[in-house]
Amino acid sequence: MSYTILDASNLEAYLFSLPKIKAFFDADSLIIDEIGDGNLNFVFLVTSSSNGSRQLIIKQAVPYLRCVGESYPLSKERMTYEIRSLERFAQLSPHIPKIYHSDEEMSLLIMEYLNSHIIMRKGMIEGIEYPKFAEDISSFLANTLFKTSSLYLSSSDKRTLVSQFIGNSELCKLTEDFVFTAPFMEDETNAELPELSDVAERIANDLELKTKILHLKYKFMNQSDALLHGDLHTGSIMINQDETYVIDSEFAFVGPMGFDVGALIANLVMSWVSHTVQDNDSRYSDLILETINSVWQRFDEKFRTLWNETEESALLTKGFANDEILKSYQKQYMQTLLQESIGFAGCKIIRRQFGIAGVEDIRGIEDDAVREEANRLAISIGERFIKQYHTVKTTDDIMKLIKA
């Protein structure tokens, strides 16, 4: 089928044209609800009219930026890279929903409906605890980042992987613009926040800050470590007390590992900010800081374990280095990765305050004064992360930068 934008009027006919999907629903008609609340795509929840437990998610990319509209054209081929990345991630990690059907021509995915899970950001806003999250997400990060890198793949396999994602340049450009550029200057896409005009002016003229941002942006544009999710935040995670699933990888590309780790840390920090300025009880805020520490510690341990189990790769030829040399290199590598993660986290935090797409944790605060307090606290943490990321050696250093 040639590309057609699907909606409630034609989606059922499309689904029933797919024998496997028609058999799944086993119904004469379907109930279709458009449930997407993201910035890019349309998402439908489709339910069998005869059996309400038979449900699937249909996600389709349209040729424009959904949160802006048709006035902002955007290639629908971004879904190609979400399909490819989710299929690759599913081979490496159990934390990806089951994919029932994919159609690159239609820019469409049909996936398992996680009806017993919620978006993690919403759960954290409500103060829900997720005891298995650190264990699950650290496993996802360790396996997907390590096993798509030159630390694990052969040279030819790594180059093949890069070639499969090199075309996602349009969404990479969105990140370059909306994460590393527009929020740090006067730009028409930024949020209108007159109460923060003094901070915006300070940032726009901060030589040290903007020099560091240029270093980080250059790494984002040119460092091809591993296959990244590209937008790994608490809005891209479906979760409950027992399971964690990663979704929405349309920004996937081969880039610096620290960008994925940093995006996750940034969103946990913003949740910490939200609870810190609103809650009288600091218990949940403290739990978030413990989660940041635990995610990194477990990720570091699992990543090194995978590395130690790998005898040969594009980087390391068997017999080239003894254990002492390897451990010395690993220590330097992981410290650099932690530092870059914090730098990228700083850009992500400030972007979410000034940029086109904020986070509900902070923008959803109803009291104007409290919301401004949260904005200012988040921005100050972001500034410290960017300016001082090279000084970070342990997670204790991260905690000091947050609490400063």
pLDDT of residue 278: 97
Note the pLDDT of residue 38. Answer: 62
> Is there a contact between 265 and 399 (Cβ–Cβ < 8 Å)?
no
- CATH 1.20.1250.20 is held by the domain 118-403: no
Selection from 226, 257, 230, 88 nearest residue 172 by Cα:
230
Cα distances from 250 to residues 40, 201, 256, 265, in angstroms, run 9, 33, 17, 20
How far is the C-alpha of 106 from the C-alpha of 6, rounded, in Å?
9
pLDDT at 39: 65
Domain assignments of the chain as residue spans, ordered by start:
11-112, 118-403
Q: What was the pLDDT predicted at 63?
A: 87
Q: Which residue, 66, 404, 93, 20, is CA-closest to 243?
A: 93
What predicted TM-score, i.e. pTM, was given to this entire model? 0.94
Tens of pLDDT along the chain (404 residues)? Answer: 789 999 999 999 999 999 999 999 988 899 999 987 666 788 999 999 999 899 999 999 988 876 676 777 888 888 999 999 999 999 999 999 999 999 999 999 999 999 999 999 999 999 999 999 999 999 999 999 999 999 999 999 999 999 999 999 999 999 999 999 999 999 999 999 999 999 999 999 999 999 999 999 999 999 999 999 999 999 999 999 999 999 999 999 999 999 999 999 999 999 999 999 999 889 999 999 999 999 999 999 999 999 999 999 999 999 999 999 999 999 999 999 999 999 999 999 999 999 989 999 999 999 999 999 999 999 999 999 999 999 999 999 999 999 98
End-to-end CA distance of the chain: 57
CB atoms within 10 A of CB 288: 21
Crossing angle of helices 323-354/368-388, nearest 10°? 150
Confirm or reject CATH 3.30.200.20 for domain 11-112, answering yes or no: yes
Q: Which tokens belong to 274?
A: 């939200």
Q: State the Cα–Cα distance between residues 356 and 146, nearest whole angstrom.
A: 32
